[in-house]
Structure 1
Amino acid sequence: ERTERENYYTLLSRAGIPIPAAVPDPEAIDGLSIVKLPHATKRLERGFFTVASVAEYRAKSARLIADGVIRPDDLARARIERYVLGPVFNFNYFFSPLVPRSDGLELLGVDERRESSLDGLVRLPAAQQLEMAEAARIPEYTVVGHGTLTVRESILEEVFRLGERFVDAARS
């Protein structure tokens, strides 16, 4: 779980699966980063926001606290990590320990999250985004659905390798 000491980052690291570099504290923000924490009222959702400097972190977090989107106690425990540009794929696996190890991992599908205001915002040209009120330019990352994706056949071998390493880490 996200809030536990041993969480999915622990499993990913143990499996040798690359994860975005952690930023140890807000004072160390020196490039595009994402701040990950729960939403203040929708506890299963996220109150994520992106920042590129300590000053931007302070301004956005203050505004989001004032707007009731995030809570100060959650902000104090937030994970900050470098923002990685590129497509986002969620690989959905199934593993059964009841069958031989070589036959146990299945790739059920690949999807991407559809997030409330974020998806609408990124579809606007940059010039129109800049014309919006400043508060409207901070998107909400509430997952409202998933869209199916396909991946190139040439990367499937690596997708399965990553899944197998994750299974091995989870079982150890």
Structure 2
Amino acid sequence: MQSNYIAIGEDVGAISLQGKQVYRVKTNKLIELSEFAYETWETIKTNSNSFNEILQQSLLDNQGELQITVNNLLKQGVIIDLNNSFDELLSKYSIVPKGMAGKETEDGYLLIALRNHDPIDVTIIPFLIWQLAHPFVPIVDVLNAVKTKVNIDQVELYTELIEWIPLLIVSEVISLKPLI
């Protein structure tokens, strides 16, 4: 099965330390990344990619160096492989809602990021996930709350989660963070 990476945490920015740029990502703590590691994390954040897709977008010709970087990002906890860590995602991570809800639309609701993004039109399930999410509540508890509000079976709910989480991250209306 091919990997499907998603980014964890939020971009804090870059600082110059001893003449060298260091990039920081905030999960439960600040993680310092090299420029290339940060660019890889940002690529995953904006595209939610498989390793081959990341390699195609990378400026590197060296697949080995990219694989080392991806492995380091996994170890640092700033990305996870959704295909290999779904149960862990549900129990050990939370959704941090960002932005605000806009008006109701024909298909659902608009979610609006606080940065310069176009509003994202979502159906009721991702809207409820966003609305019920909290930084200190595991994703599985958010999904259980969604199930109490909408008649949906677990498989369909998980499918919606897998489909929408990357898009909501890219649209900057949520981020994911590890619990404690």
TM-score by length of 1: 0.24
Greater relative contact order: 1 or 2 (C-alpha under 8 angstroms, separation 6 or more)? 2
Give the number of the structure whose residues are more often helix, by fraction: 2
Higher Rg: 1
TM-score by length of 2: 0.23
